[in-house]
Amino acid sequence: MLKILDWYIIRKFLSTFFFMLGVIMLLAMVFDLSERLSEFINNQAPVSAIITEYYFNFIIYYGNLFSSMIIFVSVIWFTAKMAQDTEIIPMWNSGRPFTRFIRPYMIAATVLMLLSLTMNHFVLPKSNRVRLDFEERYYRDAMSVEDYHAEYPGNQVVYFSTFYSDQNIINDFVLEKWDKKNSRMVSFLKARTAKNDPGTNRWQLTDYYERFIGYPNDSIVEGAKKDTVFDFQVDEMAQRDNVAEAMTYQELKKFIQREKEKGNANVPMYEIELHQRTSYPFATYVLTIIGVSVSSRKKRGGIGVNIALGLAIIFVYIFAMKVTTVAALNVGFPPNIAVWVPNVLFGLVAYILYRYAQK
């Protein structure tokens, strides 16, 4: 059963976290608006859309993304303040073990961890879809792709030279179909331009040349225009790096499998996004234990010393995440391990600090 002490710490924990979250998100919105205001005006973005479609989802995305860091700073801030005001000394003198003191912290951390986990897997994909759609309409430049090459299911290989999203036209489109069993090409299709009907598999080709290979029925078909259907859409060929942010867990798993079949070099990045949705929330426990351990004793330099130490730990943690992410993207380090390594390493640091704090 929770005691008065538990409720006191939980209340301080959650109130400090949400206060800091609100302040940081407000500042982030101000800086973001100052950077993007000219684009919003030039593209005539409605004020209602800026507020409801963009900044509402902006707060959800970045608030959740940095929640672990904000939790860490919050813990250090209010715990150091309690220590500085000698609120913690009576707790030590009462004979309670450190494990009893840290219990309400872990309860509050669990609440925030579950909230973040739910947001990552169920809320954020839909929220990001709205935000990214707004950015495409009112902020981002037209997307372009050059020298594309990929393999699609059904032993189909696609090439093209250029694609510009504002025109929605592919130039120098080539489609090859292969019989992998006999290692030979079955058909070859080339068109000067190819245009996909958005959201469908329907395509329109211009100035096309098609050859069906296979003795004795080898044949060639040419024409100025052709309407046809393929097993893929242009959205699969022209994608921004953050496309995975708008997918649910199951959608992202299927997407990763398809991109692997296509030989997409960005697969590790998508796998990192998939695993981070679980690893980031669990960092709450690690950072909470570290925060309590380094700030629960009164220091001569006051709260500033604790905050400086906390910020140093955050910078090292972020650096560790970046190093493992780069290793996964560039040197073949397994993405599922890369996203958990910082939690494991700092989990060991948390354990050492926790043991030291008990003394």
- How many C-beta atoms surround the C-beta of residue 265 within 10 A? 9
| pLDDT (0 to 100) of residue 112 | 95
| pLDDT (0 to 100) of residue 27 | 95
| Entry pTM | 0.82
Cα–Cα distance for residue pair 162/169, rounded to 1 Å: 8
Phi-psi region of 95 (alpha: psi -120 to 50; beta: other; left: phi over 0): left
Cα–Cα distance for residue pair 19/120, rounded to 1 Å: 21
Chunked in runs of 10, what are the mean pLDDT values of the chain (359 residues)?
84 94 95 91 91 95 91 89 77 72 92 93 92 87 83 87 87 90 86 90 93 81 91 83 87 88 83 91 92 78 70 82 85 88 90 78
For 169-192, give the DSSP string: EEEEEEEEEEETTTTEEEEEEEEE
| pLDDT (0 to 100) of residue 302 | 63
| pLDDT (0 to 100) of residue 92 | 66
- Please name which of 67, 83, 85 lies closest in space to residue 14, comparing C-alpha atoms: 67
Strand, helix or coil for residue 1: coil
Cα–Cα distance for residue pair 90/327, rounded to 1 Å: 47
Residue 208 pairs in a beta bridge with 191, 223
Task: Give the distance, in angstroms, between the CA of residue 284 and the centroid of all CA atoms in the same chain.
Answer: 17
| pLDDT (0 to 100) of residue 203 | 93
| pLDDT (0 to 100) of residue 94 | 66
Cα–Cα distance for residue pair 170/152, rounded to 1 Å: 17
Is the separation of the CB atoms in 72 and 287 below 8 Å? yes
Buried b / exposed e along 162-188 (16+ C-beta atoms within 10 A): ebebeeebbeebbbbbbeeeeeeeebb
Is the separation of the CB atoms in 246 and 134 below 8 Å? no
Tokens encoding 226: 């052709």
